[in-house]
Amino acid sequence: MEDDSKEERRPESVLTAYRDRLKVLKQARDYSSRGDIPKSVERYSTYLNTLATYFKTTEDKLSPALFDAEKEISELLLISHAYWDLSKAYDRSPNLHKEAVRCLDQFVKFSIGFKFQHINAQMLKKFIKRKQAHNIKAFSKAHQKIQVESKGCFIATYSFGTEHQVTNDLRDFKSILVKSKIGIRLVEFYYSTSPSVVNLFEKAGATGKYINLLFLKPFLYCFSKMVKLIK
């Protein structure tokens, strides 16, 4: 996380709690497996607040940006699952649905872009299919977001790169499409065919690059401008 010199600036109580955080997390999981939800929630909250205090922030402002995505991938996974269990626990009470949605948002935030994203998406999908969610709309929305973000815009990325504005605009358009059944089918068709299209361009070598430069790029650029008008 942070170097030892920075750790030394923190109170010993904060450092001790941070070093014991995984013990607290294990307790939370044990309580959850035994069905003791109140104690599980308390332990999960302690774990997350310990991390927040370590980073000199509040629990609701915990962000993946505070962590090293490569070195601390295991911790990021643990955090996502802590929020997942909290969202399910809060979902049990109608008075706590707002908190359930907040934890779901955190779960999504700590899932997108990481190697375990697909696993988390499948876990959420199974939970919805089993009809275990009370606030089904909130859980479905979270699943939709993870699913949409988990797949890249292959052709746009090939033409413009991952972070180009055109690529981002087309990602946004994808988010609009999946709000309807027809749109979902279009997105699924796109994902089933676009990898092959990109593969053809790459195999074509110089020819593929020329076609991309003269035809594909201009088309995607114009299409992205149309997308902005639709939004």
pLDDT, one tens digit per residue, over 126-147 is 899 888 888 899 998 888 777 7
pLDDT, one tens digit per residue, over 66-76 is 998 888 989 99
Nearest CA-CA partner of 110 in 77, 141, 144, 139: 77
Question: Per-residue pLDDT for 100 more than 90?
Answer: yes
**Least confident residue range of 29-33, 34-38, 182-186:** 182-186
Enter the pTM of the model: 0.66
Question: Per-residue pLDDT for 1 more than 60?
Answer: no
Q: Which carries the bigger pLDDT value, residue 158 or residue 31?
A: 31
pLDDT at site 161: 80
Instruction: Give the confidence band of 102 by pLDDT, cuts at 50, 70, 90.
Output: very high
pLDDT at site 33: 92
pLDDT at site 5: 47
Question: Per-residue pLDDT for 119 more than 80?
Answer: yes
